[in-house]
Amino acid sequence: MYTPNESRYEKMIYRHCGKSGLKLPAISLGLWQNFGFGSVFENAENMCHKAFDLGITHFDLANNYGHPFNGSAEENFKKILDRGLRQYRDELCISTKAGYEMWDGPYGDRNGSRKYLIASVNQSLKRMGLDYVDIFYHHVFDPNTPLEETALALDQIVREGKALYVGVSNYNREQTERISAIFKELRTPFIVNQPSYSMLNRWVEDDGLDTWVKQNGIGISVFSPLYQGLLTDRYLSGIPADSRLAKGNTSLVNNFNEHQLEKAKKLNEIARNRNQKLSQMAIAWLLNNKAVTTVLIGASKVSQIEENVKALENLSFSEDEIKSIDAIIRS
């Protein structure tokens, strides 16, 4: 039976999610990759245990994680909970999402309808064996469903006790502002937006999303902080044969080019001078943005979680470092 590290809370940093009372660890674990069908269950379980041992209390899922067997990440997480972690449920913050294609037919495709969202949260709770999740997100903006319908469905989910808080993911500033106004009228505990954001993907700054959420008491939970591996030392000397890029991951192929690689190499030199790995500096840089509550990391092995958490050992940046980093990124 799993017994967590007794000193797990000593080094982790916890931040309030916006103006809510909920604190999230500065680093959270995302279960998008390596936790679903075809993954080695023992490795997935070990990663969850190591994360909790290091003070990571927030585990982030979605109904479609585990593709092509949607829901399989939630099913595996249930097994991990059942095998010892569930007794610490009140020490965990578990989030899940719905919005992308999930099941056949018009009610399970990509949307934000009441029909889809209510069915989805019920399915997710069943797959994980939970009475409620701490945060339930609408995963992606749906232009074909009235925003009021999406907001009312999320509000209902909270009022029925199936989620404590709600959030949105992949919403830009304008979309977030619109749904936030509805939530304010409903008094729905809307506390977080989950966008992609990294040194090499700064759209949240260009869009003004980070400024808006900070001014309006909403937190940001960042995904893809390492630009799907390009902000690590994994590709600095070439493409490893066992990497996702070598295996033809289309999103990585589209992002990978010599110019981006040169940026990563220059950023790596700054990281070395800070006694950090590039991945650690990339996480620290994100946390330097006061709008960011938590950074969601992905992992394929325990050592990656341990390595990424060490980013918290050096979160300070000099003015010269910030200027140098900006010059490289914007080049």
Q: Is residue 90 over pLDDT 60?
A: yes
Q: Is residue 261 over pLDDT 90?
A: no
Q: What is the CATH number of the domain that holds 294?
A: 3.20.20.100
262-279: per-residue pLDDT in tens? 899 999 999 999 999 999
Place of tokens 């990563």: 264
User: Prior bond to 68 cis, omega within 30?
Assistant: yes
Whether residue 321 lies inside any domain: the answer is: no
Whether residue 33 lies inside any domain: the answer is: yes
pTM: 0.94
Range 245-262 average pLDDT: 66
Whether residue 331 lies inside any domain: the answer is: no
Count of domains forming the chain: 1
Could you list the residue range(s) of the whole structural domain that residue 53 is in? 14-227+279-313
190-243: per-residue pLDDT in tens? 999 999 999 999 999 999 999 999 999 999 999 999 998 899 988 787 666 565
Whether residue 193 lies inside any domain: the answer is: yes
Whether residue 190 lies inside any domain: the answer is: yes
Whether residue 289 lies inside any domain: the answer is: yes
Q: Which three-class secondary structure string do you get for 243-257?
A: CCCCCCCHHHHHHCC
Whether residue 326 lies inside any domain: the answer is: no
Whether residue 112 lies inside any domain: the answer is: yes
16-70: per-residue pLDDT in tens? 999 999 999 999 999 999 999 999 999 999 999 999 999 999 999 999 999 889 9
